[in-house]
Amino acid sequence: MIVNETNRIVSFVKSPDSNRRSDRARTAILAAATASVAEIGYAKTTIEGIAGRAGVGKQTIYRWWSSKGAVVLDALLAEQAEIELPDTGDFTADLRTVLRATVDEFADPGISATLRALMIDMQNDPALSERVMERMLGPQLDATKRRLESAQEAGQISADLDLDVAVEMFFGPIYHRWILQTMPLDRAYADSLTTLAVRALG
């Protein structure tokens, strides 16, 4: 705040209208990022291009995001619901549902290409790597660990497991097959992985 020439205090508190404009701008930017990646791919998508599609200046984007990868990541997450694993009481069925959904997502050409590009950018962008862990991978791992804790309480899996390692055991093989493209990534694989994981945890 400042004091003007008549000694009145002028406060720079954002008005509801300015908040709404900010919300509209963020929504437009995320939509523009999604459209750009879908149309021309991640590699050709630029901050300038996103700004042009959204009808904002580049500095508006940099006010909230540090890089193209950060914008695209938030655009991907904007289309996803809050992560919480199913808990029907049938641990095997719930795990199968989650692993099938995971391989379905990685098998989608559009999503897969974008995620691969983000993974590459993460190697040279510590801020993006931290954001991916905080916004995408971290919540997934935490939700999976909570489901494992529920299974332990129900006596469905061993009580002395290292749950952090167990969580990695579910998703590590999927990432390995996805990144290296060693073999098909499909629901049959998800089902086989479910069977092996449940046997190991028991």
Between 3.40.50.300, 1.10.8.640, 1.10.357.10, 1.10.645.10, what CATH number should domain 91-201 receive?
Answer: 1.10.357.10
Q: Residue 81: what pLDDT?
A: 57
List, as own/partner pairs, every contact residues 83-91 make where C-beta atoms lie below 8 angstroms and the sequence separation is at least 24, other chains included: 83/139, 83/140, 83/143, 84/143, 85/143, 85/144, 85/146, 85/147, 86/147, 87/147, 87/150, 89/154, 91/147, 91/151, 91/154, 91/156, 91/157, 91/198
User: At 157, is the secondary structure helix, strand, or coil?
Assistant: coil
Domain boundaries, the chain: 2-67, 91-201
Which of the residues in the chain have pLDDT under 50? 1-13
Angle between helices 138-153 and 163-180 (to 10 degrees): 130
| pLDDT (tens digit per residue) in 89-128 | 999 999 999 999 999 988 888 888 888 889 889 989 999 9
Fold designation for 2-67: Arc Repressor Mutant, subunit A (1.10.10)
pTM of the model: 0.75
